[in-house]
Every structure is written in C-alpha cells, then in structure tokens.
Structure 1
C-alpha cells in the first residue's frame, strides 16, 4: 500500500468537514490534512475575536467558509465571507483573517514548485 498524503482524516468515510475541528474559547484551532512543498490543506475553527494578522504567503490560498462568517482583508480591501462562500488570497499579497463571530474554514494553499 502506498504512503498516504492526507493525514488526520478518515479514508473511505463520508465526512462533515466542519465537524472535524471544534471551537475552543479564546483560540484558533487547526487540523492539518496535508502539508508538503506543493500544497497545504488545513481546517480552522476561530473563536469570536480571534485573528491572524496581515501576512503574505508564497502560494495562492483558497479559503472556503464551512460555518459562520469571516472578515478577510486582502491588500487592504475588506470582505465578509459567509458559510458556503470562498475567496482566493493571491500569493505575495498581504492578507488577514478575523472572526467577528465564531467561524470555520478550509484553507488550501497551492505553492509554486
């Protein structure tokens, strides 16, 4: 059997992605599903008021909101993203994520190889 690239997730099982991370008071909880030179896939649960301050990534980052809504700032422009919606944060552009209320997201970052 070949080595699995995905980790921390059940195989051959129907899953509710939002249930794979739990809210914790005053914290950002993460669960890494893949981390390598080409791609990173991580689930996050943000408690109200938590944030990741402005930073840049070497890869394009696709955010998909699983639960709640998030404030995302890209190059100084603010967006409100609701459950079921997504946005791409381009590589090399400053971006930040903030929780006005609890929310969960699936973050997929694709890196140049």
Structure 2
C-alpha cells in the first residue's frame, strides 16, 4: 500500500481528520460475536456513528424522536421500519422517520453508518 492510500485511513486513535478523504468501510472492524460502535461526529443537532455487526447480531426494536438515516457500507441487513422490512445491501440506505419503530436484523456480517438529525425538533 502506498502512502497516498494510508492517508485515507483513520489515525491511530481512530479519529477522522477533518477535510481529508478516508475509506468509510475501514472506520470500524468486526469483532467476534459483537456489535461495535464508533462515534464519527456528535453535535447538539445530531450525530454520525459507524457500527459493525458480527453474524447473528442486530439491534432490538426501538423508536427515536429524530429522523435517522441508515446506510450499509458492507454486507447485508434487514431493516424493519414501522412493520415493513427491507433488505439492504452494501451502498443501500434507508430513512427511518422520527417516532416510527425500527429494528435492524442480521443477514450475515454487516457494517453501517447511522446518521441522526435532531435539528428542527421540539
């Protein structure tokens, strides 16, 4: 790997350099029988998190008071929103509306980016 490619990786402490391109799928690694979460950015108006799920792992049903955008960056997962299931593949995304129940079900190992937008809510 040449140094230009290395510049696109997160730093040793996992922080993302602002203003520099990076490989999104390499922000977080898989861990055996685990769900791993890494905060990319957290502000009072929302947050961006990277998550990795080993085979068989998912997130229980929950309801958020904020709109949430989920984008798969590796693998496949089943995202259920208000009772309607969608199978997402690498590169696919789905908007989960505020106050609607959602559930992330495993479909093998997968990684995703979760973006929560708080601005404009009560």
With normalisation by structure 2, the TM-score equals 0.82
Q: Provide the residue aligned with 1:75 in structure 2.
A: 82
CA–CA separation in structure 2 for the residues paired with 1:82 and 1:92:
25
CA–CA separation in structure 1 for the residues paired with 2:106 and 2:81:
15
With a CA cutoff of 8 Å and minimum separation of 6, indicate the structure with the bigger relative contact order: 1
How many aligned positions are there?
107
1:34 is aligned to 2:41: yes
Structure 1 residue runs without a partner (length 5+): 1-6
Q: Provide the residue aligned with 2:63 in structure 1.
A: 56
**CA RMSD, Structure 1 to Structure 2 (Å):** 1.4
CA–CA separation in structure 2 for the residues paired with 1:104 and 1:92:
24
CA–CA separation in structure 1 for the residues paired with 2:75 and 2:40:
21
| Higher CA-based Rg | 2
With normalisation by structure 1, the TM-score equals 0.88
Conservation of the 8 A alpha-carbon contact between 1:72 and 1:95? yes
Runs of 4+ in 1 over 4 A off after TM superposition: none
Structure 2 residue runs without a partner (length 5+): 1-13
Q: Provide the residue aligned with 2:94 in structure 1.
A: 87
